Structure 1
Amino acid sequence: MYIIHWGGAVVGLVIAIVLILRKINPVYSLFTGAILGALVGGASLPQTVDVIISGTNSVMGAVVRVIAAGVLAGVLIESGAAEKIAETIVDKLGEKKVLLAIALASMIITAVGVFIPVTVIIVAPIALPVAKKVGITKSSILLAMIGGGKAGNVISPNPNTIAVAKGFNVELARVMIGAFIPAIIGLIITYIVATLISKKGEAIKAAEINEVVSNKGNISFGKAMVAPIVAIILLALNPIGSILHIKILTELKIDAMFILPIAGLVGLIAMGKINKTIEYTTSGLNRMTGTVMILIGAGAIAGVISKSNLSSVVVSTIHSFGISGVFLAPISGILMAAATASTSTGSIVATGTFSKAILSMGVAPLSAAVMINTSCCYRSSSSW
């Protein structure tokens, strides 16, 4: 039952966007937009409270999994494992393929659960000296890192992927595997465009390299890869069982809430840093706190939109232009990610608002989840 007019939902979304652009805290911006949108849309004060609480409750599953992902992220970042992975990839591919190495390193590090801004901080000190030596500009390096990070984000256990998996009630691993081809295409396009602009823009200066060079951690590449490999294997067990019709694996359903912390702890043991467990996991939790708060705010605005008839209006508009209903998933992802300037928020809003309409058009839940996740990742201007 719709209790909010679609115009109110749009007003609330616009208010939230304007406040975010004015540098107001995103969480408060989203809640303010949700409250005002519900009231403008015709909801009473008690109804507004119920709608917002319902919306925030809908994202709690994603919130718990994001907190769990903080363990793996904290281990990879603080131990120096992520840096070692990036360093090895850049060294192995060499100077001639430095842009591919940078994009690939960024993709892999983001794919194992590290946020894009952190990935850039990790990869930049390794990439800049090599890039300066071969005469590549800052703009091409930055594009390679961001584009590679976006490609990795599509297949990562990051908040956006967790949100769409929860929203469409499919396994997280299935969404990650399903998005592999879009991720590879994104990586290829990133490499091509970065190569085309490699000689355009501002050159890298020696002083800048001296400022950013880092030498964190002395672990081997093999040990650095233990945590990501364990996470990938455990996440892939159920999908592999379904594909190969192995009953024991098909029935083995281990949630990401368990897998990601387990992978992080196994990685700590392999690196001989189990005594750093509290330090690294606390750091990981701190890195996730901001994202968790934003997810809750996104849940509030998604609750308002889901209680409105906005999805019906959008579906009718799409049909009036003669566009197939299958395109509703990527279109909704693009629109919501662009509107909220956030991958995670866009994923939550698009899923919460359009999931029923998308599924009613015959789109499979997994396909819908992959399309929304991919469109949100590649369209959003942010990385959270």
Structure 2
Amino acid sequence: MSYEFTTIGALIGLAIAIFLIIKKVQPAYSLILGALIGGIIGGGGLVTTANTMVTGAQGMMSSVLRILTSGILAGALIKTGAAEKIAETIVDKLGQKRSIAAISIATMIICSVGVFIDISVITVAPIALAIGKKAGLAKSGVLLAMIGGGKAGNIISPNPNTLAASEAFNIDLTALMIKNIFPAVCALIVTVILATLLAKKNKEMIDEKEMELKEDKELPGFLPAICGPLIVIILLALRPLFEISVDPLIALPIGGVLSILITGNRKHLIAYTEFGLSKVIGVSVLLIGTGTIAGIIKASALQYDVTNLLEIMNMPAFVLAPLSGILMAGATASTTAGATISSQTFSSALLSAGVPAISAAAMIHAGSTVIDSLPHGSFFHATGGSVNMSIRERMKLIPYEACVGLASTIASVIIYLI
């Protein structure tokens, strides 16, 4: 089997990228520099390394295009108040007695319809803090409810991580979203159980300062708010139901534009779409950087060495899917980067081993939610900041979050084995 770079070179490149990210260097630049150094150390030479990096980045362009257009939907749901209205309605309907479940389900739904997980948590946070204050819940339990719900929604959403995984395995986005419904439900159940215990056990209660985070603004009605996401779901469901293919590149912006129009914000159409673009630029650039390091790793001997190692240890090949998702997401502290690097690197090895593409993508995707919220990533700080939580307290939630991600990963593996 021929390859351009050595395993040690690819690993050193990845290690350098991780080190730079931890040191707060811009993640995209960290990944690009790590790819360059790893390729040269790996014996590829400057020209081969540069060409491989470019090829890897080019492989991300279809995902980047879909993510850029998905910004229209994200911007519409946030700026029109549709996302907040959906969350508010769910919490109101389930009531104070089921507050933890309501907060988790609300965040799950907001994330599952196309809002990024960190933005989903930030959107739901004011509502969650208000109901948590009334119910006498600890802040840590409330935040875990939002994060766990977001993780559950993330694996059944048209978000960047799902798009990247589906692109790498060349499978239908909707099929991948459907595949992880059961794992998402398992993650939700574990979230509610753990968050409930934590909300009652922890003594750090919500104070009045957190209550000030909620802004008074006019929200649309529930039906106008839910129309945009429903339109997207219907369009994406046409392929599995009627074999009519509507690409996410089309479905997501259509849902976003119609959401803006239906909620009566026609005059803000340009402003809201520009806001949505601003929210996806960062992850789009990150994916380009991810593509460079993924290109080096994919062209290295790493995937062959890992596969051989599994054979020596008498472990089945499918273990590579969830394990790679867990490790890569933990290394980059990003679900999107972890799912992308794992899918791009190990897709051919998993397919060659007879693992169905849809199952491999689902296991990688679920695995990428286990330890993706480590402190060297932005999600850790964004979610902690949404409830004014100290870094020390935020660190204590990481094991609970890992349990939520692990629940969905185990469920995804069980589905494959069955």
TM-score in terms of structure 2 length: 0.88
Deviates more, 1:285-294 or 1:273-282: 273-282
**Structure 1 residue 373: Cα displacement:** 0.9
Gaps of 5+ in 2: 380-418
CA shift in 2, pair 1:225/1:383, >3 Å: farther
**Structure 1 residue 69: Cα displacement:** 0.4
Equivalent of residue 338 in structure 2, options 341, 346, 349: 346
Equivalent of residue 251 in structure 2, options 259, 272, 277: 259
What one-letter code is carried by the residue in structure 2 that aligns with 1:282? E
- Structure 1, residues 82-140: CA drift from partner, whole Å, max 9, x if none? 00001101111111000000000000001111112211221111111211121110100
The whole-number CA distance in structure 1 between the counterparts of 2:217 and 2:347 is 44
Equivalent of residue 203 in structure 1, options 192, 202, 205: 205
**Structure 1 residue 383: Cα displacement:** 7.4
Q: What is the aligned partner in structure 2 of residue 223 from structure 1?
A: 224
The whole-number CA distance in structure 2 between the counterparts of 1:234 and 1:201 is 46
Q: Say if 2:52 is the partner of 1:51.
A: yes
What one-letter code is carried by the residue in structure 2 that aligns with 1:352? Q
Q: Tell me, yes or no, if the aligned pair for 1:336 and 1:350 is still in contact at 8 Å.
A: yes
Q: What is the aligned partner in structure 2 of residue 244 from structure 1?
A: none
**Structure 1 residue 207: Cα displacement:** 2.8
Number of residue equivalences: 374
The runs of at least 4 consecutive aligned structure 1 residues that moved more than 3 Å come to none
Q: Tell me, yes or no, if the aligned pair for 1:108 and 1:152 is still in contact at 8 Å.
A: yes
Q: Tell me, yes or no, if the aligned pair for 2:85 and 2:222 is still in contact at 8 Å.
A: yes
Q: What is the aligned partner in structure 1 of residue 360 from structure 2?
A: 368
The whole-number CA distance in structure 2 between the counterparts of 1:254 and 1:73 is 19
The whole-number CA distance in structure 2 between the counterparts of 1:131 and 1:218 is 21
Q: Say if 2:270 is the partner of 1:278.
A: yes
The whole-number CA distance in structure 2 between the counterparts of 1:378 and 1:14 is 20
What one-letter code is carried by the residue in structure 2 that aligns with 1:187? L
Q: Tell me, yes or no, if the aligned pair for 2:99 and 2:131 is still in contact at 8 Å.
A: yes
What one-letter code is carried by the residue in structure 2 that aligns with 1:321? M
Q: Tell me, yes or no, if the aligned pair for 1:71 and 1:261 is still in contact at 8 Å.
A: yes
The whole-number CA distance in structure 1 between the counterparts of 2:378 and 2:195 is 19
Q: What is the aligned partner in structure 2 of residue 246 from structure 1?
A: none
Q: Secondary structure at the match of 2:368?
A: helix
Q: Tell me, yes or no, if the aligned pair for 2:329 and 2:337 is still in contact at 8 Å.
A: yes
- Structure 1, residues 310-345: CA drift from partner, whole Å, max 9, x if none? 001111111222211122111111111112211111
Matches for 1:63-102 after TM superposition, within 5 Å: 63-102=64-103
What one-letter code is carried by the residue in structure 2 that aligns with 1:349? I
The whole-number CA distance in structure 2 between the counterparts of 1:162 and 1:67 is 12
What one-letter code is carried by the residue in structure 2 that aligns with 1:204? I
Q: Say if 2:310 is the partner of 1:308.
A: no
**Structure 1 residue 254: Cα displacement:** 1.2
**Structure 1 residue 378: Cα displacement:** 3.2
The whole-number CA distance in structure 1 between the counterparts of 2:347 and 2:151 is 23
- Structure 1, residues 234-270: CA drift from partner, whole Å, max 9, x if none? 1111112xxxxxxxx21x2111000000111121221
Equivalent of residue 332 in structure 1, options 324, 328, 331: 324
Q: Tell me, yes or no, if the aligned pair for 1:31 and 1:297 is still in contact at 8 Å.
A: yes
Q: What is the aligned partner in structure 2 of residue 39 from structure 1?
A: 40
The whole-number CA distance in structure 1 between the counterparts of 2:180 and 2:217 is 32
Matches for 1:148-187 after TM superposition, within 5 Å: 148-187=149-188
Percent identity, aligned pairs only, is 47
Q: What is the aligned partner in structure 2 of residue 191 from structure 1?
A: 192
- Structure 1, residues 218-241: CA drift from partner, whole Å, max 9, x if none? 31001100000000111111112x
- Structure 1, residues 149-196: CA drift from partner, whole Å, max 9, x if none? 111111111110000100000111111111111111100000000111
Deviates more, 1:149-158 or 1:212-221: 212-221
**Structure 1 residue 8: Cα displacement:** 0.2
The whole-number CA distance in structure 2 between the counterparts of 1:208 and 1:348 is 36
The whole-number CA distance in structure 1 between the counterparts of 2:122 and 2:297 is 36
**Structure 1 residue 297: Cα displacement:** 0.4
Q: Tell me, yes or no, if the aligned pair for 2:72 and 2:272 is still in contact at 8 Å.
A: yes
Q: What is the aligned partner in structure 1 of residue 121 from structure 2?
A: 120
The whole-number CA distance in structure 1 between the counterparts of 2:355 and 2:252 is 29
What one-letter code is carried by the residue in structure 2 that aligns with 1:343? T
The whole-number CA distance in structure 2 between the counterparts of 1:18 and 1:217 is 45
Gaps of 5+ in 1: 241-248
What one-letter code is carried by the residue in structure 2 that aligns with 1:336? M
What one-letter code is carried by the residue in structure 2 that aligns with 1:207? K
What one-letter code is carried by the residue in structure 2 that aligns with 1:208? E
The whole-number CA distance in structure 2 between the counterparts of 1:335 and 1:127 is 31
Q: Secondary structure at the match of 2:369?
A: helix
The whole-number CA distance in structure 2 between the counterparts of 1:329 and 1:219 is 42
What one-letter code is carried by the residue in structure 2 that aligns with 1:203? M
The whole-number CA distance in structure 2 between the counterparts of 1:327 and 1:383 is 28
The whole-number CA distance in structure 2 between the counterparts of 1:265 and 1:208 is 33
Matches for 1:6-21 after TM superposition, within 5 Å: 6-21=7-22
CA shift in 2, pair 1:163/1:228, >3 Å: same
